[in-house]
Each structure stands twice: as structure tokens, then as C-alpha cells.
Chains A and B, each alone.
Chain A
Amino acid sequence: MSQNPNMTLSLHFTGSPENVRPALQQVCAALRQVGLSEDDIGTAELVLAEVLNNVIEHAFADRTDGQVNIDFKTLPEGQFFSVRDDGLPMPDGKLPAGIPPEVDCFLENLPEGGWGWSLVHRLTQDICYQRAGQNNVLTFLLPFSAQQTTQRCDLQNG
């Protein structure tokens, strides 16, 4: 399965809403080359979509010239990502806690958003946010799903 297990990718783009889809497509294509399962690629796409949407909406606010870098590399336990942008820092300089919105409520009170960070926290490990000079740097690990781990072990042993 795994064609290029040690592949790294560095992707740079200007942070406007219409650039998110093409950026995600490039990352997914690269992850397919790494040999990740479709399940893991789907998870990576969701996490990165939430992270990038947040960068565009909040870190860049009304700016359309913000710069984003996505880097990844393959580690034995999963796919390691680093997302860097030159936008505004996170509120209070901290990663949002990502408490999922309440759904046991009347129709009128159902949430129409607020899931982004809770999804990111649920699906990643070792997530870390740092302000480095004029940049935000978010790093996290997307662990391989069980199926993928088995395949990789088979590869290493065989």
C-alpha cells in the first residue's frame, strides 16, 4: 500500500476562502501517495478544513493577503502536521478548549456551528499552539487508524 512512507509535503498558499478547497485537495492527493487509508485521509481533510477555516475567518479576519504554510511528515504513529499563518494570534494566546455545543435541546436552540475545535481536539493528538513572532504555529498528530497501523506493521515486518 505504502508507496512513499517518508514523504514530506510543504504547501504554501494565500489565505482566502476560495483557496481552502484546492489546498485540501493537494494535501489529500499527497496523503494518497503516502498510502494512507481513505478513512485517515477523510479525517485529515476534516481536521485541516476546520483549522484553515478558522485561520481565514479569525486570524485573517478581513485580510485577503494572509499567508499559510502546511507541512506534514509521516511518523511511525501517524501523520504529523504543522500549519503556520501570519494572522492575528489566538484569543488569550491559547488554543480554544473546543467544548462541543449542547445538542439535547429544543429545535430552536440547536447549534449551527461551534464544532470546529471540538472536532480538531477529538481527532488529533499532541496538539500544540505557539505564537512565533508574527506567526501562529499549530502542530498536531493524526494517528493512523487501526487498519492502517496493521498494514504498516506488515510492511515493516515483511
Chain B
Amino acid sequence: MNLLSRPEGEKLIVTVNEARIDSAVAIQFKDRMREETDGGGDHIILDLAQVDFIDSSGLGAIVAVMKALGRDRRLDLSGLTENVDKVFRLTRMDSVFQIHPCLEDALTP
């Protein structure tokens, strides 16, 4: 699972360089997110612009990552493609996450 993270000011951007977060990679995604966020960063932006498909397992993995970060650290989402956005809307998870249309927007203070 190809994830890449870089600090941007106070924020940590984690980019998912994969087309899918589905049941085949959900556990791997959680493990890789833990590795990428272990080093710190209280405000994480998960950049999903390259992800064109998630299923309920993928959604569950993203929620699990947010829960693992705890109350003192924040996870925002950025760049949801149409199919991914649909899953967040239908499950009402769009009301749980702060969702930014793009990284530029996510980084605007």
C-alpha cells in the first residue's frame, strides 16, 4: 500500500497513492496509516484524490484510523472523487469528517 506523508506547517499530509481502499487492503491501510502518523502531527490531512473506489471495509478502515488517533489529534479528508464522496454521503460519514474539496483548501488556515 503506497502512502506518502509530508509535513506542511503544523499539518501532516498523507497521500494515498492507490486507486482503491477496499476489503483486500483495509487492514494494510490501517497499519500503514499508523506507521505514517506515529511520528506525530496533531492535524492530519488524508489526501484521497487518487482513490476512485472505496467499499464499506475501506470506509471502516478510515474511521478506525480516526478513532486510533484519539480526541487530541484530528483527521481531515481531502479531494474525494465522485464515487468515494458517494459512499461518505450515503453512510452519513460526511457529517463525521471535515472534508475539503482539495489540498489547497485543506491547507488554508
Q: How many A-B residue pairs have CB under 8 A?
A: 75
> Number of contacting residues on A, CB 8 A?
29
Binds A, one of B32-40, B42-50, B56-64, B100-108: B56-64
For the complex, would chain A's binding face be called helix, strand, loop or mixed by DSSP majority? helix
A-B contact pairs, 11 of them (CB 8 A): A17-B24, A42-B83, A50-B55, A53-B55, A103-B93, A110-B63, A110-B96, A111-B63, A115-B56, A115-B59, A119-B87
B residues with CB within 8 A of A: 20, 22-24, 53, 55-57, 59-61, 63-64, 66-67, 70-71, 82-83, 86-87, 90-93, 95-96
In the assembled complex, the Cα of A25 lies from the Cα of B56 at a distance in Å of 18
Interface pair A21/B20, CB less than 8 Å apart: yes
Interface pair B91/A103, CB less than 8 Å apart: yes
Q: Which residues of A contact B59 (CB under 8 A)?
A: 115
Q: Which residues of B contact A108 (CB under 8 A)?
A: 67
Of chain B, the residue at the smallest CB distance from A49 is B55
A residues with CB within 8 A of B: 17-18, 20-21, 38-39, 42-43, 45-46, 49-50, 53, 100, 103-104, 107-108, 110-116, 118-119, 122-123
